[in-house]
């Protein structure tokens, strides 16, 4: 490594997910392979965000002058690896597996596209606002749609029986 700037551009060659680090081919140094570089991630302590850089992704690094220590600051966009949107009002994540997270900072809307489904867990889930369902919906394994029926229904002000 030269004694020039500690900022380097590189390509991720190998990941060590258990130790949150990668080896990088340093473009600025004729393709020399770095020692293990730590991932510079959002959060520390009790609040963490984990997202390993993809093999082959272009990254920005800070590396000591000998190339023995440093960190990956993050991935960068290029002609080869284009951003997922050109709309400056969107916060967008396109994820391997088909996930798509789009938050519009202009109007406050959030769109999630999850081809594998969505599971929300908690002791209590509250929804405030109107709900518009396209597709089917179930409650306790029973359909909640036009086929939904109750048995032992009483007329007038009585209470119907359990869902059948």
Q: Please indicate whether residue 142 or residue 36 has the higher confidence score (pLDDT).
A: 36
1 has pLDDT over 80 = no
As a whole number of angstroms, the longest Cα–Cα distance in the chain is 87
Q: Which of 62-66, 76-80, 95-99, 106-110 has the highest mean pLDDT?
A: 106-110
Judged on CB neighbours under 10 Å (0-12, 13-18, 19+), 78 is exposed
**3-class secondary-structure state, position 107:** coil
- What was the pLDDT predicted at 123? 96
- What was the pLDDT predicted at 2? 47
The token pair at 136 is: 């089917």
- What was the pLDDT predicted at 160? 67
The token pair at 35 is: 């020692």
Domain ranges of the chain: 7-75, 83-147
The token pair at 56 is: 């082959």
CB 41, CB 57: distance < 8 Å: no
- What was the pLDDT predicted at 12? 96
- What was the pLDDT predicted at 55? 94
Q: What is the mean pLDDT of residues 33-41?
A: 91
CATH superfamily for domain 7-75 = Gp5 N-terminal domain (2.40.50.230)
List C-alpha distances in Å: 155 to 111, 159, 161: 43, 8, 12
The token pair at 37 is: 């570089």
Average pLDDT, the chain: 87
pLDDT tens digits for range 39-70: 987 777 787 888 889 999 999 999 988 778 89
pLDDT tens digits for range 103-139: 999 999 999 999 999 999 999 999 999 988 888 888 8
């Amino acid at each position: 490594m030269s004694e020039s700037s500690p900022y380097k551009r590189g390509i991720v060659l190998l990941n060590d997910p258990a130790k949150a680090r990668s080896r990088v081919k340093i473009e600025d140094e004729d393709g020399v392979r770095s020692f293990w570089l730590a991932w510079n991630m959002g959060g520390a302590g009790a609040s963490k965000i984990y997202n390993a850089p993809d093999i082959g992704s272009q990254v920005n690094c800070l590396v000591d002058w000998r190339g023995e220590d440093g960190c990956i600051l993050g991935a960068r966009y290029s002609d080869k690896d284009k951003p997922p949107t050109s709309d400056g009002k969107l916060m967008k994540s396109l994820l391997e597996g088909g996930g798509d997270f789009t938050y519009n900072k202009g109007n406050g809307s959030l769109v999630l596209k999850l081809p594998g489904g969505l599971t929300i867990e908690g002791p209590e889930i509250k929804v405030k606002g109107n709900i518009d369902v396209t597709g089917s919906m179930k409650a306790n394994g029973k359909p909640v749609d036009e086929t939904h029926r109750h048995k032992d229904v009483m007329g007038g002000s009585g209470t119907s029986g359990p869902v059948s």
